[in-house]
Amino acid sequence: MNLRSNPRHGILLLTALAGLVAGCAVNPATGKRQIILLSEAQEIQMGQEADPQIAASIGFYEDEDLQAYVRGLGLPMAAGSERPGLPWSFKVVDDPVVNAFAVPGGFIYVTRGILATLNSEAELAGVLGHEIGHVTARHSASQISRQQLQQLGLGVGMILSEGVQKYADLIQSGIGVLNLKYSRGDESEADRLGFRYMTAQGYDPHALIGVFETLALVSGGGDGRIPEWQLTHPYPENREAAIRDLIRSAGGDVSGRVEHAGYIQRLDGIVYGENPREGYFEGEAFSHPDLAFRIDFPAGWKGVNQRTAVGAVSPSEDALLVLSLEAGAQTPSAALSAFLGQEGIQGGRLEETRIGGFPAARATFSAPAEGGEILGEAAFVAYESNLYRILGYGSPAGWSSHGTSIRRACETFRKLTDPAALSVEPARLEIVRLPSAMTFAQFLERYPSDAGADEVGLINRVEPQASLEAGRLMKRVVGGPGARRPG
């Protein structure tokens, strides 16, 4: 974990600009007249500010070959778009969620989760083209402006104290960064633009049909591990039908490159699902094998795990509990005194104590907020070579309801000793070339996975009764928490 920069300056900029209209112009990508609230330079600045925040809160997948591959697909499409002069960037984020998203200025992100569900280079090109379309049509600029200006429970704008705001930002970004809700019209427009960009590079647009078939399955059920695409890109079935209409209306030959085998082979060994080495929840209990600690959050709260912090929000979003690393070598008492000494924070009596058997300091505090104040408790714990900050707070009503639960949760911080938890490894995809024709059931029997049959069928996009030809490349899932066998 490490601390990330505070995005409030970007939010203040958006607030100042929200009432200004720089003019009305025709968007070269869509041919529509738009009211422009941000200049291109300001869009680029927003993207440049967001990129390190995304790196800190989600992280980029550590595989330079895969990063270069995605970048090599995206840049030619972006260069052929109506906004080639943007500082286009294409990155794989280390997230199991099936998603792709864009921020203003040409910054495009795909998750390793969506890469695992795609089955050809053409499908990836379609996803990247779609996100390029959001940028060229300037959807993401207006959408992020709306999202960042929202006031959601403990969200941006409520807390005025800089000393407390930065801790809320750590968790708020994790809850909201992937939930960019475009309108149906925006999605349809981005699909049409993505169709244009991928076909210009010689890819077969029929591949998009497979993408939407998979997304329909993902958003329609499953284990709840990957719901965000449904929020970000709703109605995949309707989008599939629209692409079929677009292919028909294009006329002539719209086939092209697919590149199935080469794409699948690149997925061999990619981390699949949550990476438990970076911490994982089991109910309300959170364990971090690499840092060897465990903490129990209040029951029923929504947990968020990021590289910078782990935390949870109360069901009514009126209270928050965040654990993160404290920068700099300090004692718990010195760190707590510095926290309580920040402008706008009124601290209670500092208590030197022990939490989980380790030196600690804790105190209650209050801080100003819009329409009133927030109440909370801060605790600092020295464990091994790190200093941990545990911060819980809420509105007066929220603190009244959840204060006791927050205090108890702070006291559950302890050393992780379970050998199974300490040695857990992530699941990975293994690519198998079938030596002979077989059914899907026979594949599962001969090449068992540490994932359910439905999930394996989804990532390979095969039906339960499918017959598989010899030489076909198939994905299976090996390892991970509760793995039944070695990889």
What pLDDT sits at residue 176?
Answer: 40
**pLDDT bracket for residue 222 (50, 70, 90):** very low
Beta bridge partners of 361: 352, 380
60: CB partners within 8 A, 6+ apart? 67, 91, 92, 93, 94
The one-character DSSP state at 257 is B
| Residue 33 confidence (pLDDT) | 62
Query: Looking at residues 300-316, what average pLDDT do you find?
Result: 90
- Residue 164: what pLDDT? 53
pLDDT at 191 over 70: yes
Per-residue pLDDT at 17 exceeds 80: no
Per-residue model confidence as pLDDT tens digits over 418-457: 999 999 999 999 999 999 999 999 999 999 999 999 999 9
Burial class from Cβ neighbours inside 10 Å (0-12, 13-18, 19+) for residue 334 reads middle
pLDDT score for 471? 97
Could you report the per-residue pLDDT of 121-151, keeping only the tens digit for each?
999 999 999 999 999 998 766 655 444 433 3
Is the separation of the CB atoms in 97 and 226 below 8 Å?
yes
**What is the structure's pLDDT at 237?**
67
Residue ranges of E strands in 180-318: 271-272, 280-282, 285-288, 293-296, 302-305, 309-313
Report residue 128: phi and psi, to 5°. -65, -40
Provide φ and ψ at 9, rounded to 5°. -65, -35
Positive/negative CA dihedral, 113, 210, 128, 270: positive
Q: How much is the pLDDT for 230?
A: 39
Average model confidence (pLDDT) for the chain?
82
- Three-state SS for 197? helix
pLDDT over 80 at 340, yes or no: yes
Confidence (pLDDT) at 107:
95
Percentage of residues of the chain with pLDDT beyond 70: 78
Whose tokens are 């559950």? That residue is 412
Choice between 299 and 16, residue whose per-residue pLDDT is larger: 299
Q: Which of 42-46, 199-203, 365-369 has the highest mean pLDDT?
A: 199-203
Query: CA-to-CA distance for 188 and 191, rounded, in angstroms?
Result: 5
> pLDDT at residue 41 above 70?
yes
